[in-house]
Amino acid sequence: MPRPTALLLGTIGHARKEWESLSEIAELKEITTGTRESVIQDFKDGKYDGVVAIYRTYDSAQITGRFDKDFVSQLPSSVRFLCHNGAGYDQIDIEPCTARGILVAHTPGAVNNATANIAMMLILQALRKTYIAETSLRKGTWRGQLPLGHDPDGKVLGILGLGGIGVALSTRAKAFGMSLIYHNRREAAHNPAGAEYVADLAQFLGRCDVLSIHLPLTEVTRHYLGKKELLGLKKGAVLVNTARGAVIDEAALVEVLEAGHLGSVGLDVYEEEPKIHEGLIKREDVVLFPHIGTFTIETQKKMEVLVVDNVCSALTRGKLLTVVPEQKGKEAEIQENR
């Protein structure tokens, strides 16, 4: 029996040893450079025929672009599993994968604490406007025009999307004395900090002193918060986003900021990364991080190991450990699409 082949698309920084240990059960191939066109040509030329499972990094989108319908249709017919390194998998269109019988894994859980830490950090920094404090000090003007900040204690934190990261944030925010509400499509089964469920979005937004976004980016959640919703926040409210930039209409956010409606904003994600809206860059009441939610040695390792474990499970048992929600429970049916 020929050994199956696994393909690494992108680079591994922390679980190289774990990836290489897969050579005991599979042939390993790698794509670390190239363009969408060159990769598609290699697929056509049969260079990756026999690949059963793909390990895909977030940054590999710089090589291939999105795994959209067109790209998925060009994959070798042997591909059965796509293992993505990231909790968010908006770079992958799930429907064409399902139609081709390809199961997709992501890395939920592994990202929760690190991303919640960045969200909490942004909340505190936005409340204190630390950007003004630090730039003023570095300019040699000590506190300069730094306004007094706000304490988190007693403020209402609205968590939009109480999933794994939202829960991790809720326990942190509770320790800072914040009062917690959340909005989901349905009441959450896991809510250890006892956040209050608010079913109506407009009512939810109207109660937030601080709003933190934890929704995945899908066609439904793209521009979920537009001008109307942002104006539905209290005047002076703080908005933090560590999920995906396009969940907010960024141009509307700048407009609402310029109108003086929001107190401050903390962002780790943007609509067109790495491009940042000029209207955000120039504002001093906005804290901006370059998408570093999971940017720690421990979390990067945890995520990479989980992807390798998914590839291993796919090759040895024909099953993924952390299949995406759209395919969960339908794996056998999807595999029959082949």
As annotated, the active-site residues are: 244, 273, 291
Positions in 240-299 near ligand GLV (CB under 6 A) = 293-294
- To ligand GLV, the closest distance from the beta carbon of 241 in angstroms equals 11
Is 88 among the residues that bind ligand GLV (CB under 6 A)? yes
Is 163 among the residues that bind ligand GLV (CB under 6 A)? no
Is 117 among the residues that bind ligand GLV (CB under 6 A)? no
- To ligand GLV, the closest distance from the beta carbon of 244 in angstroms equals 7
**CB-CB contact of 16 with 39 (8 Å):** no
Interface residue with ligand GLV among 105, 111, 181, 233 (CB under 6 A) is 111
Interface residue with ligand GLV among 4, 10, 76, 86 (CB under 6 A) is 86
Is 164 among the residues that bind ligand GLV (CB under 6 A)? no
Interface residue with ligand GLV among 87, 198, 205, 267 (CB under 6 A) is 87
- To ligand GLV, the closest distance from the beta carbon of 184 in angstroms equals 19
Is 166 among the residues that bind ligand GLV (CB under 6 A)? no
CA atoms within 13 A on the CB side of 178: 30
**CB-CB contact of 55 with 81 (8 Å):** no
Is 221 among the residues that bind ligand GLV (CB under 6 A)? no
Category of 157 on φ-ψ map: left (φ > 0), alpha (ψ -120 to 50) or beta: beta
DSSP 115-175: HHHHHHHHHHHHHHTHHHHHHHHHTT-TTTTPPP----TTPEEEEES-SHHHHHHHHHHHH
Is 125 among the residues that bind ligand GLV (CB under 6 A)? no
What is the three-class DSSP state of 181?
A: strand
Burial of 244 (0-12, 13-18, 19+ CB in 10 A): buried
Residues that bind ligand GLV (CB under 6 A): 86-88, 111, 293-294
